[in-house]
Homo-oligomer: A and B are copies of this chain.
């Protein structure tokens, strides 16, 4: 039986999503819990995509095949019993064998948070600590350049040699969080993102916010397709995969 699982995690204590030898990763901890539930038979968990070391998720989607007879609700409860308290399964549903977590994604939403005020120990795991105010109006202008279909080659990592860097961003916003007035939140929604793309886009937005470059320069860098023109990759801890929407047929089951 194939199950689709929606789960959230705080990435602080993990070496990213993907399984790695001898390192604690989200995938390995999830698969260990699934192994116990599946009567000690190995289970492979296929996710919608990786998240990097230190990145959080409110809604990650994955699927797996289990041999054991179990209802979706029982699977959710059993997983949450075995999982540590920084991973939580929100929903589990039964899906047909056509389903694959990677290919049934309609869109993903990422949020990136920057604390422009003084360090706050209660928020330290969830923000990039910037310490100084950023020009939010200019960042709001700049972020609009990312909306639409673009070749994001300038926003991948230098060692990335992907043939196709064309992606479409449907929504890109920059807002102050009403509950944390020192925190600026970037939201990006799109069908898919390249590795480090969000953190690299945020890196250049920070340059806009500090006044090092003008908002219009972001459009130029995007068009240049030249990675060397971009800024630093923003740190992982500010990034959260906040939502994944599946194609309607499966999303209806998840809602």
Contacts and interface: CB of A to CB of B under 8 A. Distances in A.
B90 A121 contact: no
Interface stretch (A15-23, A139-147, A152-160, A173-181): A173-181
A249 to B, nearest CB: 24
Contacts of A56: 122
Nearest to A126: B122
A67 interface: no
A87 interface: yes
Contact of A177 (B8, B9, B124, B179): B179
A122 B10 contact: yes
Interface string A1-42: 000000011100000000000000000000000000000000
Contacts of A124: 10, 85-86
A90 B122 CA distance: 13
A78 B179 CA distance: 30
Interface in A86-112: 86-88, 90
A84 to B, nearest CB: 9
B87 A121 contact: yes
A185 to B, nearest CB: 9
Interface string A55-68: 01010000000000
Contacts of A80: 119
Contact of A122 (B118, B179, B180, B240): B240
A58 B117 CA distance: 13
Nearest to A90: B118
B177 A121 contact: no
A8 B10 CA distance: 22
Given A9-B121, A58-B122, A179-B179, 9 more contacts: A10-B122, A10-B124, A80-B119, A87-B121, A88-B118, A88-B119, A88-B120, A177-B179, A178-B178
